[in-house]
């Protein structure tokens, strides 16, 4: 089993390296790439966005066309697969330090582990990162949450 996961991770890395320039050429960023090699039901999903948010259907269609053409030429994926391109949505998940920095100024909801290992939730406005912490402005003041303690984080529609 670990070899399969490793092969999937290797393929995701290769696909990201190949397709990220296509996404950038359209003025977008590749938020996430998912590769699910499931026999004849192989699926490659690209989630694209821009820092200020808002990706149109036409932009997703264009990225899909360009990525599909490039994948056909490079022939990285054996057999048949389905390519899907979409937006991560208004309440998209935040995973990396880069995500927290890009979406500074936006409302978010974080679930993190406190010093006792208990799960806690905080809602507020992202203020970016400082050192190893995510900064969140709450009605009670600014809080610093260790990035490695964040279990889950999403943009929120409201505070």
User: Which residue range is the domain that position 64 belongs to?
Assistant: 2-86
- The answer to whether residue 92 sits within a structural domain is no
- The answer to whether residue 151 sits within a structural domain is yes
- The answer to whether residue 41 sits within a structural domain is yes
Q: Which residues does 12 contact at the CB level (< 8 Å), separation at least 6?
A: 33, 34, 35
pLDDT digit string, tens, across residues 114-137:
989 899 999 999 999 999 999 999
Whole-number Å distance between alpha carbons of 20 and 28: 9
One domain for residues 49 and 27: yes
Whole-number Å distance between alpha carbons of 62 and 76: 20
pLDDT of residue 3: 43
- The answer to whether residue 91 sits within a structural domain is no
CATH at 141:
2.30.30.520
Q: Does 4 have pLDDT greater than 60?
A: no
> Structure pTM?
0.70
- Of 75 and 39, the structure prediction assigns the larger pLDDT to 75
Final residue of a structural domain among 86, 107, 137:
86
- Of 42 and 145, the structure prediction assigns the larger pLDDT to 145
| DSSP one-letter string for 86-144 | E---TT-B--SHHHHHHTTTSEEEEEEE-TTS-EEEEEEEEEEEETTEEEEEETTEEEE
Whole-number Å distance between alpha carbons of 55 and 48: 7
Joined together, the tokens standing for residue 126 give 């992202």
Average pLDDT (26-36) is: 90
Using pLDDT thresholds of 50, 70 and 90, give the confidence band for residue 66.
very high
pLDDT digit string, tens, across residues 84-120:
999 888 888 898 898 899 889 999 999 999 989 899 9
Q: Does 5 have pLDDT greater than 60?
A: no
One domain for residues 81 and 7: yes
- Of 46 and 78, the structure prediction assigns the larger pLDDT to 46
One domain for residues 6 and 48: yes
Using pLDDT thresholds of 50, 70 and 90, give the confidence band for residue 1.
very low
Q: Does 82 have pLDDT greater than 70?
A: yes
pLDDT of residue 159: 67
Number of domains in the chain: 2
């Amino acid at each position: 089993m670990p070899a399969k996961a490793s092969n999937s991770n290797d393929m995701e890395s290769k696909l990201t390296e190949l397709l990220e320039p296509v996404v950038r050429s359209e003025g977008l960023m590749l938020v996430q790439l998912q590769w699910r090699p499931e026999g004849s039901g192989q699926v490659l999903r690209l989630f694209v966005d821009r820092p200020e948010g808002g990706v149109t259907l036409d932009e997703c269609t264009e990225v899909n066309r360009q990525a599909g053409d490039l994948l056909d030429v490079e022939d990285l994926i054996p057999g048949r697969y389905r390519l899907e391109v979409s937006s991560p949505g208004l309440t998209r998940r935040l995973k990396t330090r880069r995500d927290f920095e890009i979406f500074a100024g936006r409302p978010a909801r974080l679930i993190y582990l406190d010093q006792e290992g208990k799960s806690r939730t905080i809602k507020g406005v992202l203020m970016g990162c400082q050192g190893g912490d995510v900064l969140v402005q709450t009605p009670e003041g600014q809080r610093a949450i260790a990035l490695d303690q964040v279990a889950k984080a999403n943009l929120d529609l409201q505070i």
